[in-house]
Amino acid sequence: MIVKVCGLKDPANHAAVAALPGVDLTGMIFYPASPRFVQLPPDAFETGKETTTHRVGVFVQEEVERVLELQERYRLEFLQLHGNESVDYVKELRKRMPAGTKIIKAFAVKSEESLALTHPFHGICDYFLFDTPGPGHGGTGRQFDWSVLEQYVGETPFLLSGGIAPEHLSVLYTFDHPRWAGIDLNSRFETEPGIKDIEKLSQFIAQFREP
């Protein structure tokens, strides 16, 4: 089960999260309107230490050229598209991105009709991310009705997002779907936007991964 921690903008905090046992993906947001927007240069995030985690770059309707530029500079292995990117956009990105790169496409879910929007993206995205609808393109810190996902019958695996917090552990233990691939953690584990509470994260991830 994948554990992704998103919205990391401080190099020291990013390094601490990347070093936590059980973290697979660390997300860096490259959307200027986000309070978690990464503004520091790539060198600031280089610690020289080996890590088993993979970096995810989060983009909102960004030009393909810019996405590819930032992917190279920040050594991004996953590209998460969190806007209204078209199928043609994803195909163009996939054609030009380095081999081995994975694409995550985010969708706001509020009904079975929302899930129908995923249909054209099957086969061109590696993962979907199901999030809570909000007024903008960022996370809301609120949970959506996960029971809607019972209607998801696609083949593309998905990450569960949307205000996941420590109190949701019992619900996560009982959540089940054949395409559920992992969770996305963000605002409910922060001391301030972009800064994660390492102890809180560590405890939650250890409990989540308990057999």
Tokens 């001391």, located at residue: 191
Distance between CA 88 and CA 185 in Å, rounded? 29
Helices (H), the chain: 11-18, 64-74, 87-96, 112-116, 169-174, 198-208
**131 carries an active-site annotation:** yes
Active-site hit among 43, 131, 145, 184: 131
**24 carries an active-site annotation:** no
Distance between CA 115 and CA 164 in Å, rounded? 20
Active-site hit among 6, 10, 125, 184: 6
Cα–Cα nearest to 79, from 101, 108, 60, 47: 101
Catalytically active residues, by annotation: 6, 131
